[in-house]
Chain A
C-alpha cells in the first residue's frame, strides 16, 4: 500500500510543487528556486527508494472513475528506467535553471510550467492505460509549449507555432488511432491489448501506424521532425535540454509500447521503424554537420540519436528470439543519450548565458581558456561519439552488435548498407561535435582573452560535473545498469540472459575506426568545404539554407492551398442562403422594373394632362412600371412579413432540392 501511495505522490508532487512554487515565487524568487530544487530532489529520491520494490514486483494502482475509465498506473522495471532518468535529469536541470535564468523575465511562469511538464512526463511513463497516457501526453505538449516560447520574441513564436501545430496534429492522429484501437479491442489497458491485437486483421497496421505517427512526431521521427530544429534553439537552455533528453523519449516510449508490446514486434512494422531509424540517423547527422548554431547542431544531433534508438526498436522486432541484445542496446542508449545530451546542452547554455550568442562564427575561441568548462564539454563529446571508456560506447556497441546479429540471421546486401549508414552516421556525430569543440574551445580569438572567466558560474557547472562523472562511471562499469534492463525484458515479451563483454579487442577496434572516419569527415568535408576564410575572418557557411525545406516548401504550401480552397468553398456556402434571397429580390426587381406602359416624354404628357388628370388622382399616384406598384405594396406591407415570405420560399426550394434530387 505504501508503494501505491508513493506512486501517486510521484505523480502529483510536481503539479502541487508547480502551484506552490508559483505562489512562493510571487513573494520571493530565491525561496521559490530553493523550493523547486528541493521538490525535484524529493521526487528523485522517492523514485530511487522504489527501486528495490520494482526489482521484485511491479507496482500497480487503479483509481476508478477518473475520466470515466479510471486512472491506472503501473511502475515496472521498463517504466522505471524512464521515470528514473526523467526525475534525475529534472533535478539537475532545475538546479541549472536557477543559474541560467537569472537575466530572464517571467521566471515564475517558467518554473510553474517546468514543474507541470515534469508531472505530465512522469504521468506518461507511469500510465498503464493508454488513454491516461494520451492525456498526460497532451498536457505535456501544452505545458512544454510555454517553455519553448518563453523568450516571446518573433523567432520563439514561429518555432512555437510549428511545435504546437505539429503537436496538436500528431495528438489528433494518435487519438484517431486510439479510437480505432478501442473500437476493435474494447480495452485500453496496455497489458491486455497484445492478445487482442493478435486477433485483428490488417486493421492493426492502420491502428499502430496512426499511433506511431502520433508518438513519432514527438520522437522527431522523419518526416515529422520539422519542429525540432526550430523549437530547441528557441527555448531557454534547460528547457531545450529536457526537450532533447526527455520529451523525445516520451515519443520513443510510445513507439516501444506500440511496436514491441502491442504489436509484439511485428516484422513489417519493425522493418518500417528500422528504415525510418536509419533515415533519421543519417539525415539528422548530416544536417547537424551543416549548422552553425550550436543548439541547432545539438538538436539535429538528438534527431540522429533518436534514429539510433529507433533502429534498436526495429531490431527488437526483427531479431525475434535473439532480440535480447537489441533491447539492451535500445534501453541503454535511451539512458545514455539523456545523460550526455543534457551535458552538452548545459555547456552550450553556459556560453549563451555569457555572450547571448550561439553561432559558432561569433563565439569562436570563447572557451580556450576556460578549462573546467572545456573538460566537462569534452567528456560529453567523448560520450556521444562512443569513445571507449565513456557511456556512449557501451550502448553503441550493443546496438552495433544487434545489427551484426541481424546481418548473421538474414543474409542480404541491405544489411551491409545498414552497416555503412550506421558507421557513417557515427562518423557524422564525431565530425559535428569536433566542429563545435575545435571552433569554440581550441581556436584562438582576440575578443575572448579571459575577461569572462569569472562569469562561468560554479553552481551551473556543478550539475554538469555530476553528469560527467556518471558518464565516466557508466563507461567504466557498464554492468551497473544491466539488472534493471534484464528485469524489464518481461514487459517487452522477451526472455533470455546475455552477458555482454564490452571491452573486447573487436569492439574497441571498430569504435576507433569509426572515430577515424569521423575525423576524416571533419577534415575532409567540414574544414575543406564549409569553413571559409575571407582574409580577415574564418567562418562557417551553411549551404542547407537554400535547400528544399520540408516545412517551408512542402507542408506549408500544401496547408495554405488546402486552406484557401476550402475557405472559399465554405465562404460560398456560408453566404448561399443570404445571397439567394438577394438574388431573388434583385431578380424580382428586374422583372417588375420592366415598363408596362410606355413612358411618354414630358411634353406629350403635358398635352394630355387634362385627360388623365382625374384618373391619376383617382388612384392616388402616378406610376409607370410594376416596380412602382410593388413599391407601393412594399410600403404598405410590413417588411417583416415580406421577408418571412421570401425565406419560406427559399426554404421550400432548398428542401425540394435536398429531398428529390
Chain B
C-alpha cells in the first residue's frame, strides 16, 4: 500500500514538473530549458507577493501564475522567436536565460532555506495504515484535475485544437489558418503557467531554493524523453513509469539509486525506442 500511495504521489509530482515542458515542446518543438528557472521564479514571485506586498494567499498565487505566464510569453516574443527552428540555438538561448534567472535570484539574495510558501492544508491522515499529509493529497487531486483539463482543452476548445494541430503537423495547421507564432507564444505562456502551478503546489512541501530549478529541469526532460518528446499524454504515462520505478527502487535497492532511475530510463528509451512511449510524430519521422 505504501508503494501504491507514494508511487502515485511521486508520479503526479513528476507529471507536474514535466507537463509545462511537454506542452511547449509539443506545440512549438521548442525545448524550453528555462523551464526549471520559471518554476523557481514563480515560487519567489509568490513569496514576494505574500510576504513583501502582504497580499492574501489566493490573489498572490494567481498573480504569480499569471506573471510567470507573461514572463514565458516575453521570453518567446523577445528572444526565442528569432531563433525558432535552430534547435541548438534554442537550447543554448533558453538554457542561458534560465541560468541567468536562477543565478540572478541567487545574486539578488534569494538564498538559504527560509523562503517557503504556505501549505494550503496542514496535517495528515492515515490511508490504509499509511500516513499521508493533506498537502500531498491536495497536490494529487489538483494534479489529476490539471491533466484532465489539459486533455479537455486540447480536444474541445478552439485554441486547444489549434495547439494540437500545431503539435501534429505545423505545416498543415498553418495551411488551415493557424498562426504558428501565435500558437507557440500561447504554448510558451501555458507551459510557464503550468510550471508555476507545479511550484505553487509542490514548494510548500519544502523551501524555495535556486537548486530546485536544475533538478526540476532534469526530471522534466527525463519524463518527456521517456514519454516521447511532444506527447503530453506520453509525459503523464512516463511520469507514472518513472515515479513508481523510483519508489520501488527506494524500497528494494536503496534511496541513493532513485536518481539513477530517471537517467537509466532515458538511456533505455533512447536504445530501445528513441521516439519514447507515445512519441508518434517522431516515430513517423524516424521511419521516413
Q: Tell me, yes or no, whether A binds B.
A: no
Binding site for B on A (CB under 8 A): none
Binding site for A on B (CB under 8 A): none
